[in-house]
Amino acid sequence: MTQSGGGGGGVHHHLNHHGLCCLSAAALPAPDAPPTPEPEAGGAAVAVAGVLHKWTNYGRGWRERWFSLHDGVLSYSKIRRDASAAADEDGGGGGGEVRLIGGASARIGGARRPDKPVGVVCLKLSAFRESKSDDRRFYIFSPTKTLHLKTDSKEDRVAWIEALILARSFYSLRSLSGRITFVQSDVSVSTARLRNRMQQEGLNESLIQECEQIVLTEFSSFRKQLKLCYEDQLSLFGSCRHHFEEGKDASIIQGALTRNDFSSSRHGNFSEYSTTESDEFEKQDGGDLTCEDESTFFDAADYFIEPNDRSSAILSSTSCGEGLLDIQMEDSSHLLPQIKRRSKLPEPTEKERGISLWSIIKDSVGKDLTRVCLPVYFNEPLSSLQKGFEDLEYSHLLDQAYQYGKMGNSLMRILKVAAFAVSGYASSVARPCKPFNPLLGETYEADFPERGVRFFAEKVSHHPMLIACHCEGKGWKFWGDSNLKSKFWGQSIQVDPIGVLTVEFDDGEIFQWSKVTTTIHNLILGKLYCSHHGTMHIKGNRQYSCKLKFKEPSLLDRNPHLVQGFVEDDDGNKPSFLIGKWDENMYYSNLDTSKVKSVDQLKGAVVLWEKNKPSPNPTRYNLSSFAITLNELSPDLQDKLPPTDSRLRPDQRHLENGEYEKANAEKLRLERRQRMSSKLQDNGWKPRWFQKDGEDGTYRFKGGYWEAREHGQWDDCLDIFGEFSET
């Protein structure tokens, strides 16, 4: 059986270059039919090609890919070695003269050539954006994926952006769908070979004719089914076009992708293209995972558009072309409520007072030294309970760790957990003030649905001073308690945290670690600062554990805040190494990082975590944008909180408002009340929301708080901030 009109061998070749890679072969024009573009404006069709660096995933990093732009469709391919292949085979994207951008002809010539396309992007549904921090990088956004691309030079990026904009203006979805015709009149079936073979076997004419009729009938039935399939696909595509052009999703996509107008004077104004103002995309170099990764296992990718998104990733897979699989992590932030939180503290009512040793001496003259306490302006308007939640500013790292584990990537899971364990120290830089010491029974809740987390903490013991916390995220739980042992060395204080922090994922994997030593320097003379040093062991209950060393600072150290470590499996192998700074970022690499002093000396390191940008509204407390939201008290929230919540603490509230005299008076009153706590604890006081696991175990959340909050049942909660009588 043969096929007239050009044969079937070239169908897949054409399919791989067509923007509608998921349509059946029957929906495509004949392989040898010349392209018939229908530009919307005058001028020649855009056909360019070249090599771009494409971000694949954390494991593989940047990879060279052959990109071909033709008929308003951008396709990309792997570049494989094949000495016998012509350099330009399959590279032009559809015949005709193709303009090469950059050094593509030199790289692809001879021994290397592009493979079959593994991904396509229809430019009509896409937007483009340059990177502001890297003059070689740009992004292409489509409704289903985002491509992170990088050129060899700034000039090459300009050339690619110009070609993309020009191609997008030439071809619309309507002209694209108009060129898809069903191959019906060009296809016929010949039974000549079948007849000749049957005659050789000596079959009679009536049997031969009957067999021919069966073949023709079956082929006719197959062609009808193929046509119906084509019509269904074309109908689906038409509805999708309408959906993207006129529907709600189109406005959402365009609104998200085109916040800024195209600002380059070389290109004019295009709403679909802009440069980034803040370049939030550089927060994470995660991209889409595409079908070019042919192994059966895929790493997860971090969605990068919104650095504080941290929503759980959704895996989607679709068939594409010749059975290729496209798996990517999609943003689901639109499924979470968007809550507007404050971005700055109230303006102080009174003039701020500086921090100095002289101020303590002056305020203590004539007072009983046993009752002297630090003035309130040595504090920041946060309690230690709220500081506990501040350690979860980068909880999205645990969201990512959960997703990696779900996909079977245990190594990336522990790397993300390690990055999370380090990230909690980032907020301690240049924080000159100490948090309020909570009262016995004081609590703090943090319900952040836009992050997918809710947190609760309570001071469970006055002596020893213990704070317990519990946090629930998307696929994980975090809990622990902490006690501090301090040593005074004259010019510094050394604080050793005691307690175990635990992360448990929904699939049963658990990681535990303890914090390292913190030293506060220059208490009397010089600028106050803190350092973190020691070894952190992150122990897992399955395959991997991790060891991180926080470098102790020295006078001659030119690379402070350094953190180095490695992941180790049960057999003692070290599959991955970590390096970074606890106040900036963390990277991982398969190369040993113990011999290098900074990540700049390590090639191929991949970022795990980067610190968020500082607050645009700084205060003398140097709070981050996240920390500024922690003590916010709206009227609606105030009605829901128990009387023990830190937001209701009067001295802390007066300090935030800049009412320093009132804050000082309230602090003295509450500290007198705090002296009653030891007696209260000795008389059998028990925590309301936590209980101890055994005699020497960790305090664990009993539950019931959020249910009581829903019904406003706080009758059994003490009014710990109210007036009291010592008699």
Q: Is the pLDDT of residue 480 over 90?
A: yes
Planar angle of CA 312, 317, 322, nearest 5 degrees: 160
CA distance 251 to 449: 25
Round the CA-based radius of gyration of the chain to a whole number and report it.
33
Q: How far is CA 297 from CA 7, 55, 120, in A?
A: 37, 17, 22
CA distance 382 to 277: 32
For 108, which DSSP code? H
CA distance 421 to 536: 9
**More confident call, 50 vs 279:** 50
Q: If you write DSSP's letter for every residue of 501-549 in order, what string do you get?
A: EEEEETTS-EEEE---EEEEE-SSSS--EEEEEEEEEEEESSSEEEEEE
Most confident of 186-200, 324-338, 359-373, 441-455: 441-455
Most confident of 163-177, 361-375, 455-469: 455-469
Instruction: Output the average pLDDT for the chain.
Output: 75
- The per-residue pLDDT for 93 is 42
**More confident call, 629 vs 231:** 629
- The per-residue pLDDT for 404 is 94
Closest CA to 721 of 634, 641, 660: 641
Average pLDDT over residues 4-20: 39
How much of the chain, in percent, has pLDDT values that exceed 70?
68
Closest CA to 404 of 153, 716, 59, 42: 59
Closest CA to 397 of 421, 379, 380: 421
Strand 273-275 relative to strand 127-130, pairing: parallel
**More confident call, 633 vs 283:** 633
CA distance 495 to 498: 10
Strand 453-461 relative to strand 443-448, pairing: antiparallel
- The per-residue pLDDT for 234 is 55
Q: How confident is the model at residue 8 (pLDDT cuts 50, 70, 90)?
A: very low
| Domain extents in the chain | 47-80+98-177, 380-524+628-711
Q: How far is CA 109 from CA 91, 101, 366, in A?
A: 11, 14, 88
- The per-residue pLDDT for 217 is 86
Backbone phi, then psi, for 279, in 5-degree steps?
A: 55, 55
For 35, which DSSP code? P
Average pLDDT over residues 658-662: 92
Greatest C-alpha distance within the chain: 128
Q: How far is CA 111 from CA 62, 104, 114, in A?
A: 21, 13, 11
Least confident of 38-52, 98-112, 156-170, 699-713: 38-52
- The per-residue pLDDT for 170 is 63
What is this structure's pTM? 0.57
Question: Over the stretch 572-612, which tens digit does the pLDDT of each residue have?
Answer: 999 999 999 999 999 999 999 888 888 888 888 999 999 99
Question: Over the stretch 96-140, which tens digit does the pLDDT of each residue have?
Answer: 567 888 875 556 654 455 667 778 887 777 788 888 778 889 988
- The per-residue pLDDT for 367 is 54
Q: Which CATH architecture describes the domain 47-80+98-177?
A: Roll (2.30)
Average pLDDT over residues 492-507: 92
Closest CA to 445 of 383, 381, 380, 385: 385
- The per-residue pLDDT for 79 is 81
